[in-house]
């Protein structure tokens, strides 16, 4: 794992500010959070997006093979 550091002139030491592992990178962007979360790691966001894209793909496949009118009647 690589760690990004900056030199803090006040403290006279190197301070870690990032990592190359997605689990170590946090986001507080409200568009990426689930209800009740104030922050989450980027790895969880990517997993959630993958799951949502899989669901969309499955819905589109169903619509393409069964017809969109039938799909919307079931909802």
pLDDT digit string (tens) for 15-59?
A: 988 777 766 788 999 999 989 999 998 889 999 999 999 999 998
Q: How far apart are CA 30 and CA 44, in angstroms?
A: 14
- State which residues form the domain around 70: 3-74
Which carries the bigger pLDDT value, residue 53 or residue 71? Answer: 53
Tell if the pTM clears 0.95, that is, is over it: no
In the chain, the number of structural domains is: 1
Q: For the chain, state the CA radius of gyration.
A: 21
Closest alpha carbon to 16 in 25, 5, 2: 5
DSSP 36: T
Which carries the bigger pLDDT value, residue 69 or residue 19? Answer: 19
Residue 70 banded pLDDT, cuts 50, 70, 90: low
């Amino acid at each position: 794992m690589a760690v990004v550091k900056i030199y803090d002139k006040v403290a006279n030491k190197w301070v870690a500010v990032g990592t190359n592992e997605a689990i170590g990178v946090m986001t507080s962007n409200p568009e990426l959070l689930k209800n009740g979360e104030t922050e989450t790691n980027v790895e969880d966001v990517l997993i959630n997006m993958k799951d949502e894209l899989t669901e969309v793909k499955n819905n589109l496949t169903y619509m393409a093979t069964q017809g969109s009118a039938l799909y919307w009647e079931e909802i």
